[in-house]
Amino acid sequence: MGLFSRKNKDEDNPLDALNTDDDLQVDIYTPQMLTKRLAWDIVPCSEVERLIPLMGLTPDSPDVSDMEHKASHDRIDALAPLKEMLALFIPIVSGITASAMLVNSGNSVDEETAAVLQRHHSVVVRAGIVAILANLLDMGIISYADGVQFGDELLG
């Protein structure tokens, strides 16, 4: 089962699905395709081609890998307006998840170990949120609101 999105869809016309115009584009994202896209967005570029077969996926041809590599950079670059906000949220979320993990485990650790755990969580949180936001933005599922200003004014 894949995720389908239609460009130029008329939301008010239920017969729009029958439209065969050339400007109607249907994107199909299978779990395997999404896994590869997310891998490109999460893992350092130099490691992706080695990782894909380890995840049980068929490696892409060199031409397709080059296209996926470029597409990944384009997706990540599209998040540039959110860079400051992500830098604000990621350490907070990382601190919460690291603390919750310690509370749920019943273990207590010294401050230095807790700081290391939070840094490790920060890497995971950053990788996940950047990959997810980049793909949702690229698929047109989310978008930047018109007129929204990014930067210090959002921080209060």
pLDDT tens, N- to C-terminus, the chain (156 residues): 344 444 445 555 555 555 555 554 557 788 999 999 999 999 999 999 999 999 999 999 999 999 999 999 999 999 999 999 999 999 999 999 988 888 887 778 888 988 898 899 899 999 999 999 999 999 999 999 887 666 544 444
Q: Is residue 41 part of a domain?
A: no
Q: Is residue 67 part of a domain?
A: no
Overall domain count for the chain? 1
For residue 44, CA distances in Å to 31, 69, 80, 148 come to: 21, 10, 18, 31
Q: Quote the domain boundaries for residue 110.
A: 78-156
φ, ψ dihedrals at 15, nearest 5°: -85, -5
φ, ψ dihedrals at 112, nearest 5°: -65, -45
Q: Is residue 151 part of a domain?
A: yes
Q: Which helix (H) or strand (E) holds 28?
A: strand 25-29
The three-state secondary structure class of 115 is helix
Q: Is residue 130 part of a domain?
A: yes
Cα–Cα distance, 46 to 50 (Å, whole number): 8
